[in-house]
Structure 1
Amino acid sequence: DDLLICVRVLACRPARRIRSSCSPLRYVMLLALALLFLLLAAAFSALLWRNRQPAFESARRFAAVGSTVDGVECVEMLNSSALAYIPPSPEEIGLVYVPGALVEHAAYAPLCSAIARRSGCVVVLLRVPLRMSALGWPFTSLGCRRVAAAIAALPNVKTWAVGGHSMGGGTACSFVAANPRKVAGVCLHGSLAWIDLRAQQETLCSLAVRGSCDGLLTTAMFDANPARLPNLTAVIIDGGNHAGYGHYGPQRFPLPDGERTISLEAQQAQVSDATATWLQNLRKAQQ
């Protein structure tokens, strides 16, 4: 009996210490911190929601599943998580394209369709979760998994490039860094290389495009890309801005964009031409 009493006393002592250490003041402080965190998270979520960018109506016909525009067919894949743009006689090379943060994926449908038509390559436009594939973990991880799924779903495509607009280019760089043997090229539209990819000097080619009126990607930021991207082709679109890679805008978050001095159609034509030429050269380099 005495032994049982001693065991019960010893078992109760840690609980008494915990209860004595959790004073009412500490409970109040923990509750206040939790409420502050929830308020900040709610405010940040509201800020992102308010700055979402819908696609222009001009982009809708290019994003219509089953449609064919200028000979390029739009096909749904990955359980509605992506659109594939397939030209009449596709080459064995493809591009997976990641939208910019907060921008509706359909805004990039005209550009992806034009790249497919001009290059003869399959272009896969991802539909990313909550439009936030590039806003840090876990969203970047989700975006990278969808890139991998798109590549796996099209085994007939032998050579792949991965690219994107703005922060979508960051997701592309993250995927390339983690999967160096799966990708032959990385394509950045109005984007900065977040990761140093020079270790892939022997196997990776790069394309970086910037509009001269881009209000988010400054000249200094763009000029830093050669220090991180191997075998780089750099293209400047005279008069182009940050939002001109997609059919959306104007862009005011996180910084106000510059004003285009050329039409949206002119910027899209120059971007698609530069990207298609780069893809064709990438295909030739792989032969």
Structure 2
Amino acid sequence: MKILKISALIIGILIVLLFGGFWIWSEMTYEASEELSSLVSEEDIIREDGVRFLPESPNGTGVIIYPGARVEPEAYSYIGASLADEGYTVLIPEVRFNLAFFNIGKADSLVGEFDEMDTWVIGGHSLGGVAAASYAYDSEVDGVFFLASYPQGSNDFSGSSLPMLSIYGDRDGLTTLEDIDDTSTLLSAEAVFHKIEGGNHAQFGVYGEQSGDMDATISLLEQQNDIVAAMLKWLDEKVK
């Protein structure tokens, strides 16, 4: 009996240590870089459950962006502000442990806050896109977009007519061209693919360099503007 108690105590301590280590790692986030302040006005950023960008004249379409793993929501502010300038309501939420996969259903509460919206699209960067696809697979949305991302194998949209957009860079060291090609059959028949020549993984946000990534051959602003243009074209032609 004494051995069992000691074993249980040791197991309990190991669990606490493992969770503690995981929590510390999850809090070591990629924050928005100083460059963001020159791209987005502080007055345009609404800090509420992440960041939000509310247009002066809403067009009835809401855009939810799940952040990449351990990336702060604010890092996607340029994309959010640019879409809001065109009438889109953009919500970039905080997620549990800074990993969207632990908070896949986060979109439910956001949609509930804005019941005046007629249309909702959801997507995300990297792991955030994987989580967004999982949400969309079991929920009613009007479109899904992937920013250097793709759905996991269990989320097969190939038999669906759901509007989808995949934006990826040819200098991405984390979501590679091979990854995009290998998972392309999981996307719907309506999927649009947009390659950013010279774009890498980290420049899908504004948070600096990321370990394992390649160097981009275009500027941050060029890549961000390419992302925004591709999203606006897709939203206008395929979703609205």
TM-score for both structures, normalised by structure 1: 0.75
Instruction: Give structure 1 stretches of 5+ with no counterpart.
Output: 1-21, 69-73
CA distance in structure 1 between the partners assigned to 2:93 and 2:156 by the alignment: 23
Q: 1:27 to 1:40 in 2, by over 3 A?
A: same
Tell me the equivalent position of 2:79.
Answer: 111
> Which of residues 210, 222, 226 in structure 2 aligns to 1:251?
210
> Which of residues 254, 268, 281 in structure 1 aligns to 2:224?
268
* 1:59–1:108 Cα contact (<8 Å) kept: no
Indicate the structure (1 or 2) with the bigger Cα radius of gyration.
Answer: 1
Q: 1:60 to 1:132 in 2, by over 3 A?
A: farther
- Secondary structure in structure 1 of the residue aligned to 2:6: helix
**Percent identity at matched positions?**
28
Instruction: Give structure 2 stretches of 5+ with no counterpart.
Output: none
Q: Greater shift after overlay, 222-231 or 234-243?
A: 222-231
> Which of residues 144, 168, 175 in structure 2 aligns to 1:210?
168
Whether 2:24 is the aligned partner of 1:56: answer: no
CA distance in structure 1 between the partners assigned to 2:157 and 2:134 by the alignment: 13
Tell me the equivalent position of 1:121.
Answer: 88
> Which of residues 74, 99, 114 in structure 2 aligns to 1:132?
99
Q: 1:121 to 1:260 in 2, by over 3 A?
A: same
> Which of residues 28, 33, 49 in structure 1 aligns to 2:11?
33
Q: Deviations over 1:130-164 (max 9, x none)?
A: 42222xxxx224xx2x3112222222221110011
1:83-162 equivalent positions in 2, closer than 5 A: 83-117=51-85, 119-134=86-101, 139-141=102-104, 144=105, 146-162=106-122
By percentage of residues, which structure has more helix?
1
* 1:99–1:164 Cα contact (<8 Å) kept: yes
Look up the equivalent residue of 2:99 and give its one-letter code.
M
TM-score for both structures, normalised by structure 2: 0.89
> Which of residues 223, 227, 238 in structure 1 aligns to 2:181?
223
Look up the equivalent residue of 1:111 and give its one-letter code.
I
Tell me the equivalent position of 1:191.
Answer: 149
Q: Deviations over 1:185-230 (max 9, x none)?
A: 001101121242427613x111111111111112221113322111
